[in-house]
A and B are shown apart, each in its own frame.
Chain A
Amino acid sequence: MVAQESHQHGAPQGFIRKWVFSLDHKVIGLQYYFLALTAVFVGMFLSLLMRIHLIWPTAMLPLLGEIKPETYLSLVTMHGTIMVFFVLTTAPQGGFGNYFLPIQIGAPDMAFPVLNMLSFWTTFLAYIVMLSAFFVVGGAPLHGWTGYAPLSALQSSGPGEGLGADLWITSIALFCIASLMGALNFITTTLDMRAKGMTMWRMPLTCWSWFITAILGLLAFGVLLSAGILLLMDRNIGTSFFLPLGTINGQMTGHKGGSPLLWQHLFWFFGHPEVYIAILPGMGVASQVLSTFSRKPIFGYKAMVYAMLSIGLLGFMVWGHHMFMSGMSPYSAFAFSIMTMAIGVPSAIKTFNWLGTLHKARIRFQSPMLFAIGFVSLFVSGGLSGPFLAQPALDIPLHDTAFVPGHFHLIMGVAAIFGIFAATYYWFPKMFGRMMDEKLARIHFFLTLIGTYSVFMPMHYLGLAGQPRRYSQLTELKYLHPLIGLNTFMTYAAIVTVAAQLIFLFNLFWSMFKGAKASDNPWEATTLEWTTATPPPHDNFGGRTPVVHNGPYEYSVPGAPRDYVMQTDPATVAAH
């Protein structure tokens, strides 16, 4: 085909060049997606072990035996790390962003295809290094996904803090480098590769969200990398960046003069933007899907973009709200508190606009739409507890209780996962040329929605009742006895929710091969990916370059021949 020869790099023929070390952003996107898919099942499995341990602490599990307190802590660590880095950062940005950003802006590929490939394989290496921490002497580290020093900075502070912790930090550092390469590619592509007529203000909100996420990643991951380097130096060559003079287990450590707080500052300067890295792409997908299935233009397109930009900007000024408990001047705490609550404003604008889009719409309740509505629901119910925790006076009693996991699981974990599900059901026809089964999708949606609410809503209540987080064995505590019933219910709900994900897994792979054939534009959507073949050819548009004439969400256009106007429809079509 002439089209493919004219592409920057010709369509590869061999299996290895085509599917393994591919330069094609679509293949790389799928590689990221499937990496995240394996990671999410590992992470879910770990969370199930934790839930089982919380209600049956002495249960003998097949193959694993009894979960000891240190094992529980390593489960906490690895669940958090794998979910945050290898699922919530990887799937929405690396997966869908890679696949659809170039197509949605009308580009034949990413700006730097080789860098893109390197970025994926570095992420893959990081994932392997992370998982290998389970299988070394001492096992996986205990220090939580936040890796607070001095626990994380000393080889001798506990089982798993030896080689396991070194592997953990190495993996995080590799992941930082991979994410920086990815972010570089996303930003350059967005700025430099848009098709004719695709102005910034005509980009779909998904592209805006990937673009802003990439900027956040570019600024945040360098700082985490620096923190990781310092931590590795403290652990292995005897420096004292994070280690004060002190004793561990009765022995002098030989370190002196470091500051554990320094780690927290560096980590959370990355860590808070990271939660927006996880959620922003979900917001973009929710906007895209809500508009498409409401058959209405998104309400307040520019306000949506400005809201995402201000969320990104404010996200860099609020890291201190994770450290109210760590000892902080009340004046700084006050400033961080005000800034944090200010994020409520752009978040509310976004929610208002989503509801405005739904208002008086002829909604098509298909599976992507269900998950997008679910996203909005979870974003609201998870977000509402944010202003509680933003206030030092409330955060101090709530901080180390189950209230905080309840909050961030709803808004950052499950809401972002719903964004990923919405994206999967929405773009599956374009990626694989077949439709996913609608009936199974609905069952999956309702079980997941009810299941996740049943697991995470009660956590707020447990937290208010004083159940601490991160503790391995709570059944012995007398004051928590009345809560055992609720904990048991949550564990059963978690088992049902995990089982519901097997329905999704089956639907995904079954539909890939046996699903009904999809047309090029099954949802009657307007953005560029729906103008090309299904699945898209190697250079995305089969040798032609799309020319864009319209904004991304032109639905129910009065006077148009159909109820929607594609971005590529020239203005002359409907002019009389």
Chain B
Amino acid sequence: MASFTPTVPTPHPTTSRGRRDDLPPVVGGGDGGRPDSGEPDYGARLRRARLGLAIALTPIVMLFVAFTSAYIVRQGLPTFDPNTNTVVHDWTPVPLPTVLFLINTCVLLLSSVTIEFARRQLARQVALEPVQSIPGVSLGTESRFPWLGLTIILGLGFLAGQWLAWRELAARGFYVATGPSSSFVYLLTGGHAVHLLGGIIALLAAGAAVVLHRPLASRRIIVDVTAWYWHFMALLWIYILALLEFAR
């Protein structure tokens, strides 16, 4: 391999982006705080998991943006009817089971509150963990209320309520394939339900972590990330409900 000798020796090496000693020496890496060896600490893991969640929410947003644009475009789109050789507007607004939807909304919002309590409860437990091991230190009455379990029950309650809403829609004669409008109602609510089910599975995994005696910190990270996901699901549901209600 050919070797290369600089033709003009200069006293200080200059790189393409200025003199090297002008550059900030070693700061600014993304993981600058990472210890030189070993597992990343709890704070770094939590930060990484939250970042991952924020990124994971992006395609979910894109999925519902795509559904929404399809919904809006389809709504205003006249279609050709070969029977009459005319262009017709065939969009029939679906009578939503509004009362049931509002009850479900309340259940979901309530679960969003309970999961927030669960998140903060675990955060406190993690913060107090080192103190607890000191003999003679009493922490007073730390709440042991099963917020997590309550959230799972409320989440399942919401899904059951959605199921009832679909039953009611079907009873009114609006099935998945009845018309474009009813297809979209099922698609949007069903898509949301599938995503919420994912959140429930994550909470069950956090519950399993208790049973399996996994470290408290790991459990806290799962619950923290799921809580943010859950809040997002609540927001998403309100958005979907508003879309279906106001853009029929």
Contact = CB atoms under 8 A, between A and B. Distances in A.
Interface of A: 2-3, 6, 8, 105-107, 111-112, 180, 183-184, 187-188, 190-199, 218-223, 225-227, 229-230, 233, 237-241, 244-246, 256-259, 262, 265-266, 269, 295, 297, 301, 362, 364, 524, 543-545, 547-551, 553-554, 556-560, 562-563, 565, 571, 574-576
Given A222-B62, A222-B66, A576-B12, A192 B37 contact: no
Contact of B47 (A192, A223, A547, A562): A192
Contacts of A262: 70, 73-74
Contacts of A223: 62-63, 65-66
A257 to B, nearest CB: 5
Contacts of A220: 62
Nearest to B89: A257
A559 B11 contact: yes
Interface size class of B (residues with CB under 8 A): 35 or more
Contact of B82 (A237, A246, A571): A246
B189 interface: no
A544 B70 CA distance: 51
Contacts of A560: 6, 13
Interface of A is mostly: loop
B77 interface: yes
21 contacts: A8-B39, A105-B30, A180-B59, A188-B52, A191-B30, A192-B47, A195-B29, A219-B59, A230-B187, A239-B176, A240-B183, A241-B180, A257-B179, A257-B180, A297-B15, A364-B1, A559-B9, A559-B14, A565-B20, A571-B25, A575-B12
A195 B14 contact: no
B3 interface: yes
Given A194-B29, A239-B177, A6 B70 contact: no
A193 B10 contact: no
Contact of A240 (B6, B12, B80, B177): B177
Question: Residue among A220, A295, A548, A559 with the most chain B CB within 10 A?
Answer: A559
Nearest to A269: B66
Interface in B133-178: 176-177
Contacts of A199: 28-29
Contacts of B21: 571, 575
A306 to B, nearest CB: 15
B5 A196 contact: no
B67 interface: yes
B124 interface: no
Contacts of A227: 66
A310 to B, nearest CB: 20
A188 B55 contact: yes
Nearest to B16: A297
Nearest to B183: A239
B115 to A, nearest CB: 22
A301 B31 CA distance: 23
Interface string B13-48: 111110011010111111110101111100000011
List the 8 closest pairs (A to B, CB-CB), nearest first. Answer: A238-B177, A222-B59, A222-B62, A563-B4, A194-B30, A197-B26, A559-B13, A297-B16
Given A106-B29, A559-B11, A571-B23, 12 more contacts: A3-B37, A197-B27, A218-B58, A222-B59, A256-B81, A256-B90, A259-B77, A362-B2, A554-B16, A556-B6, A558-B9, A563-B3
